[in-house]
Amino acid sequence: MASVRQVQVTFDCAEPERVARFWCEVLGYVVPPPPAGFATWGDVDSALPPERRGSWFACVDPSGAAPRLYFQRVPEGKVVKNRVHLDVRVGTGLVGEERLATLEAECARLVALGAVRVRLLPADDENESCMVMQDIEGNEFCLG
Count of domains for the chain: 2
Q: What is the pTM of this model?
A: 0.88
DSSP assignment string, 73-109: E-SSPP-S--SS-EEE-SSTT--HHHHHHHHHHHHHH
Assess whether 94 and 45 both reside in one domain. no
Residue ending a domain, among 24, 48, 73, is 73
Phi, psi of 118 (to 5 degrees): -100, -55
Assess whether 14 and 62 both reside in one domain. yes
Distance CA 43, CA 34 (A): 9
Assess whether 52 and 91 both reside in one domain. no
Assess whether 61 and 113 both reside in one domain. no
Per-residue pLDDT tens for 73-97?
998 888 888 888 999 999 999 999 9
Assess whether 69 and 91 both reside in one domain. no
* Domain coverage including residue 17: 8-73
Per-residue pLDDT tens for 28-76?
999 999 999 999 999 999 999 999 999 999 999 999 999 999 999 998 8
Q: What's the pLDDT band for 132 if we cut at 50, 70, 90? A: very high
Assess whether 63 and 100 both reside in one domain. no
Asked, for residue 78, whether it belongs to a domain, the answer is no
Assess whether 59 and 90 both reside in one domain. no
Assess whether 56 and 96 both reside in one domain. no
Q: What's the pLDDT band for 2 if we cut at 50, 70, 90? A: low
